[in-house]
Each structure stands twice: as structure tokens, then as C-alpha cells.
Structure 1
Amino acid sequence: MSYAIVGFGRIGQALAHAFARKNIDVTVASRRPPEALEPQARAIGPMVVAKSLREALKADTIILGVPFGEHREVAKALPSWEGKTIIDATNAFPVPEELDGLPSSAFVAKAFTGAKLVKGFNHLGAATLATDPVVAGGHRVVFLSGDDEDATARVAALAKQLGFAPVKLGKLDEGGALVHARGRIWGPLIFQDLFKKEP
């Protein structure tokens, strides 16, 4: 399984730290050329490699770490996303009117034709996400929701590998609504920093 993070701002770098801690290879890319990302990628760890967006999108699993409004530009980079799993770590705030009443991730999913999209890693602030998730005798929780059970299971396995405790919330229109901002109000589970104790 190959992984890429698209977007190398605070969230993208926080997630890159999570991969580096566990010595898992990950490609990072953004609108900037890879040379511009290389110093920061190298500083995070040797497993983090900056590449062009085109190269990064060859990965099986792609984490969206871009601002919400930029997801459509990323989606245009491939004619079809068949066979790809997209992890949507974006937050739409304030919620644009154009979402047609959909949770933001269901709206994002429409842009990535053929992909299996899982909402995840979006409810923690970047500073928290960047730190070791093994804390207080347990693991920091990440909430996941998606319409494809196999894809959600794969993302849950990745979350576990990264040291997090995945909690599945159901489908995008169910659990996704719990981490979806409404108007100027954050979803009920946004910014909830929870821990799951070891059994």
C-alpha cells in the first residue's frame, strides 16, 4: 500500500510527522514544486519524500490536506480516481451554501469520480495531530466515516498503524455529519481530543 499527502501546510506536515514516527513511507505534494517542499520534508524524516502532484497521485491512498475550497483543483488532476482511496482531512468552515445540504465530505466525494472516500483525521488541530498519539496510557482517537466498508477498514488499519485508535462513525451522511460544521457552529465531534485506553 502506498500513501501520499496532498497539501503540505500545517495539517499535511502534522500527518507527515505521524508517518515518520512509524517509519512508513509517504509522498508529499502541493501546488508548489517539490523542491520547495524538500527542506521541510527532509527535516521531518527520511520516509517523507516530496514529489510533484502527478507523481504523488500514483499512490493507492491519498490524504487531502488542502483547504476545503481547493479539493476540486486536486480532483481535476486525474480523469478518473478508480481504485484510489481518498482520506478527506478537510474542514469546510464557514460552510459554503453550494453544498446543497450535503455533509462536506459527501460533497468532496462527488469531485473524485470513482474513488472511495473516507472522512478522517479532520477533527484534531494540527498541533495535536503532530504529536505522538500514544498518551495517558492509551491512544488518541480518530473518527472515521465512509460509504465503503472496505475502504473505511483500510483507513482504520492505517490509523492503528500510525498509533491512533480509530472509531468508525458510520456512513458519510451519518457519522460524517458529526464532524461537519453547520453555519458558524462546528460539528459535535470537532476538536474532541479523546483517548482510548489499552484493553
Structure 2
Amino acid sequence: MVDTRSSESQLVEFEPEIEQKLKQIRKEQREQREEKAKEKSEQEEMAANDNNDGAHRTIQDFSMPQFSSRQSCIVFSELDATSSYEIKDYVINMLPEFSGDENQDASEHVDNFLDICGTQNNIKGVSDEFIRLKLFPFSLTGDARTWFKTLPARSITSWTQLSNWMLPLMVIYWVKNQSKLLLSLRMLLQIHLNGIVEG
């Protein structure tokens, strides 16, 4: 038995005015699409309004980057009412940069950082710890800065805590250097053993 095209498709009721029926079907499909698009746009608008505390947003608002108001991981101590301080641009520019690359040593970075902070000890009413905590984020770049931003909000209250948070980075650096050293020793041993076997 030969299959024909008409045997596989569903039979459609005969309509003398096929053009009108086709227009009606297309109109219903268009209305369904428009209804879905309208619902989707209303949901997006409601979500945008929820994120913006119910205020209507303009096109310019949507085109502007959104910045989160993330709290810092550092809790700063209160300063005396009589004390005032200002961090000069040149101090920030003098800070050593640490990105967490494998060729950088975290403990060396901390030592260099403390040396620079030691030059800022003449600010009346401001402790060394306060200055260290204020300046430290400016010394981080790249992966180290990303890591720093992932620390829990308001989790660091002292320089000791912050340096303890840095300890894993120091260990990672040490392990990477030790594994490079072991790899180099293994290669030298292999070359030496190959020389003995061949000789």
C-alpha cells in the first residue's frame, strides 16, 4: 500500500471561505503571541520595579551600570571626634600591588605593605591598625582583589584577623614554589639517572 500525503495529515473540515479561515487562524496565533509577550514584559517590569523599590525606571536607568551596595569585610574602629585624617594619593600609589600570581609572595607583600604603612604613623588620633585596614584593599589587584571581595561582610575587625585571612594565600604560594622545586629536582634526578644508565 502506498502512503499518500493526505493519509498522514489530519483532515480539515471543509471551509468554503478558506481565506477567511486562514486569516482567523493567523489572527488568533498573533493575539496569543502578543499576549505572551505582554505578560513577559509585565513580569520583567515588575522585577525591575521590585529591584528599584517600586520606582519607575527610564531607558537611561536601564542603560546605566548597576552597582551593588556590598558591605565591606572590614569593620573600622571609631575615631576620636578630634582626630582627622586624609590618605594622600601618593601613599596609595606607593603601596605594593599583590595580584595572587604564582610569581608573587604574599608574605613579602605584607612586609612591603607594612613598611609603607610605617611612614604614615604621624597622624594624630589614628592608630596604625586603622591605617593598615584602610590601605590594605588598595594594595590588591586581580585574583587577590576578587578573593578579598568574597570575604564575608564585616568579618574583619583587626589587622591580626586580616593577616590570618592572608595565611592561606601564603601557604598556596609556598606549596606552588615547593612543587616547582620538587619538579626541578625530579627532572635533574631523571637526567642524572639517564646519564648513569646510558654511560
Q: Which has the higher contact order (CA 8 A, sep 6+)?
A: 2
Greater strand content: 1
Q: How would you bin the TM-score normalised by the shorter chain?
A: under 0.3
Calculate the TM-score normalised by the size of structure 2.
0.23
As a proportion of its length, which structure holds more helix?
Answer: 2
- TM-score normalised according to structure 1 size: 0.23
